[in-house]
Structure 1
Amino acid sequence: MSATILEARHINKYFHDPVTTQVLNDVTFSVKKGEFVSIVGKSGCGKSTLLYILSTMDTDYEGELLIDNEYMTNKKESQLARIRNEKIGFVFQFHYLLNEFTVLKNVMLPGLKLGNRSANEVEHKAMEWLRVLGIEHVAHKMANQVSGGEKQRVAIARSLINDPHIIMGDEPTGNLDKKNSELVFNIFKELAEEYKQTLLIVTHDPAFAEGTQRIIEMEDGKIIKQ
């Protein structure tokens, strides 16, 4: 029996602008260790809003969120920031790499910030992930000197540097061509199967979702299938 890494219980979310609209309605589900899960649904159904709550970046909601069996509610922002850095890896549609740094330094940054390892250990680990992802040859290039597909792989390496309990992705292939989308999907699949990495990915791409172990389907702020 796999451990539960993430659990959402009866999550409701409202926007007040200027009328009150409910954007998430009684969202309840859990993700177990090593699961590769996708969240799908039409634009505006609440997928990204939900991901921001699950990633602890949005704390204005009703209900309960547990990461690694720990309640996220009523925690201070500094506590949440540490949990985010330690337990959650992020991959967004845009890679958000810092152009003034090399690829290697970009991957190292969250590890240096967490401070659990020496700079040498963080660098060694960063190189290992770049090697696994097939881009160790760009390690010493500046971030703006590598291709779009390579940038997204750098972002994936960066998300893995602190051994996160879960990787969350918001349309990680949304900005890539078919070849690079497939490459990124295969990386995620390998992470789940070989490394038992837990993945929760919001996607518009039906082919991507079909390849995941489980699909959570949303409509009008509700989960209609999981």
Structure 2
Amino acid sequence: MGDIILEARNINKYFHDPVEVKALDDICLSVRKGEFATITGKSGCGKSTLLYILSTMDTDYEGELLIDGEPMNGKSEATLAGIRNGKIGFVFQFHYLLNEFSVLQNVMLPGLKLNRFPPGEVENRAMARLDQLGIRLLAKRKAYQLSGGEKQRVAIARALINDPCIIMGDEPTGNLDKKNGELVFNIFRDLAADYLQTLLIVTHDETFASRTDRTIRMEDGKIMDGQL
């Protein structure tokens, strides 16, 4: 494993409606380059709450967060949005593809938004990602024409388009059957093993978690096991 890509230091999170509840309790966590790590625990244990903080989508917390060595605290929402788009790839339980757009257009969207490369180069990069995931032939198909497994592979290609430091997933196999869930797991495993892609995946699937590099177990807002 390489350098630390993601680091959380003493993260505390409170909800205040209707009464104050401590959702995360002194979370310390780091994830290294090329690591395939999962966060597991019962529903309500705080794993998705933690992921939203680690992804910079929730800034209402105590403690420190660093991504690729850069502190996230105190940055404007516009700055954080740029960091999310450039350094974090997201894969959710529901793919959030734009149905009337083609597969290629969906994959290109974060690249066009980042504006790091001209549109022609973004298209070439998107096609390369579709090739990598074995779905090049779907490039011109509309998103609504795809199966659930195909949609999730397109979502993974989209997550990879900007060469993110880390891919974060929230139950990415939760809406898939066993066959397609296994396919997505194998894609993640290959990304980590062959491309040194860092992955942090929230899942309730213990079988999925048991086959990753590290399982971080949460209970009542605390990390009980797997802390590095």
Report the TM-score when normalising by structure 2.
Answer: 0.98
C-alpha distance in 2 between matches for 1:184 and 1:224: 27
Shift of 1:118: 1.0
Asked whether 1:22 is paired with 2:22, we answer: yes
Shift of 1:82: 0.2
The count of aligned residue pairs is: 226
Shift of 1:184: 0.1
Asked whether 1:194 is paired with 2:188, we answer: no
After TM superposition, the runs of 4+ consecutive aligned structure 1 residues lying more than 3 A away are none
Map residues 1-226 of structure 1 onto 2, 5 A cutoff: 2-226=2-226
Report the TM-score when normalising by structure 1.
Answer: 0.99
Shift of 1:54: 0.2
Structure 1 counterpart of 2:151, one-letter code: K
Shift of 1:131: 1.1
Residue segments in structure 2 that go unaligned for 5+ positions in a row? none
Shift of 1:207: 1.1
Sequence identity of aligned pairs in percent? 71
- Name the SS for the 1:134 alignment partner: coil
Structure 1 counterpart of 2:14, one-letter code: Y
- Name the SS for the 2:98 alignment partner: coil
Structure 1 counterpart of 2:49, one-letter code: T
C-alpha distance in 2 between matches for 1:29 and 1:14: 18
C-alpha distance in 1 between matches for 2:194 and 2:118: 26
- Name the SS for the 1:7 alignment partner: strand
Deviations 1:182-218 (A, max 9, x none): 0000000000000000000000111110110000000
C-alpha distance in 2 between matches for 1:188 and 1:118: 28
- Name the SS for the 1:5 alignment partner: strand
C-alpha distance in 2 between matches for 1:38 and 1:203: 7
